[in-house]
Amino acid sequence: MILHHPNTTSTLAEQVEIKEDLFMPTMAQITSIKKMTELEKVFTLQLPEGVSLGNRPGQFVEVSVLGVGEAPISISSSPSRSNGTFELCVRRVGDVTNALHNLQPGAMLGLRGPFGRGFPYEKFRGKEVLFAAGGLGLAPLRSLINQVIDERATFGRVIILYGARSPEELLFTDELKEWADRDDLEFHVTVDRGNDDWQGNVGVITTLFKKISIYPRNTVAATCGPPVMYRFVLMELLAKGISEGNTYLSLERHMKCGVGKCGHCQINDVYACQSGPVFPYSEIKGMEEAL
């Protein structure tokens, strides 16, 4: 366990070490649940008093629903807004996530983590930051986006590109509106298929790249989305001249233990749960199975 105690400076991770059991979850309470779309809900979780998550943007937790199982879920809220609680955006796809969707506020969940290597956002300071999120990929990127917004003065221009399949599938719509209204952010959104009310861009996320101009030598990019998106987004980012070392992507792999023990997430000789899920493209471009 790796969570953090504000008074004694112990993290959830340190608690794991205290328990000497990497597989022993700490219990957290669901304080609110917000339905985002037909498939996604956002859960706000409260850790036991005095324990904080101690996460960085891009990390994930292993969430267990008692009697059902465990699944890796990205931390969607930013550390800068933690306040003893944090958020997970969960799409219902199988046993654990459906069970989660059936819970009510007040229910308890098991948590292990935070795990993995997040975005090295300290390295982003002073640079222009380009975000490209596809679908549920906004969930982990939102953690970094809001961290950057909360420290806005320490970054150069900030550009956010977001694509969803349809207007009904857009996530965090209140926040998207706030981002669009800010004059210190450039925000572009697109959907693959519009509806009668949609007046914005229609087309896949790569259609947004022609709307932006960047200074590649001073730009870092962070992208997350479905596997099919990466190849095309990477082509656009590299065509814009952003270096492979400054292009970060978050890879989703089937994970079980989250701590480098089970091998489920292995890509060549790398365990994505520990070396990732965030990688600079320069590190994985030679790995056939990575993308």
Q: Which positions from 196 to 235 touch ligand FAD by CB under 6 A, shown as an x/- string?
A: ----------------------------------------
Among 262, 283, 287, 291, binds ligand FES (CB under 6 A): 262
Least distance from C-beta 76 to ligand FAD, angstroms?
A: 6
73 binds ligand FAD (CB under 6 A): yes
Does 271 bind ligand FES (CB under 6 A)? Our answer is yes
- CB neighbours (10 Å) of residue 269? 7
Q: Which of the choices ligand FES, ligand FAD, none does residue 165 contact, using the CB cut-off of 5 to 8 A by kind?
A: none
**240-259: contacts with ligand FES (CB under 6 A):** 255-258
Nearest to 265 by CA among 289, 238, 247, 232: 289
61 close to 113: Cβ distance less than 8 angstroms: yes
117 binds ligand FES (CB under 6 A): no
Options 1, 16, 51, 96; binder of ligand FAD; rule CB under 6 A: 96
From the list ligand FAD, ligand FES, none, pick the one residue 73 interacts with, judged by a Cβ distance below 5 to 8 Å according to partner type: ligand FAD
Q: Does 268 bind ligand FES (CB under 6 A)?
A: no
* Nearest-approach distance from CB 141 to ligand FAD, in angstroms: 10
State in angstroms the smallest separation of the CB of 272 from ligand FES.
6
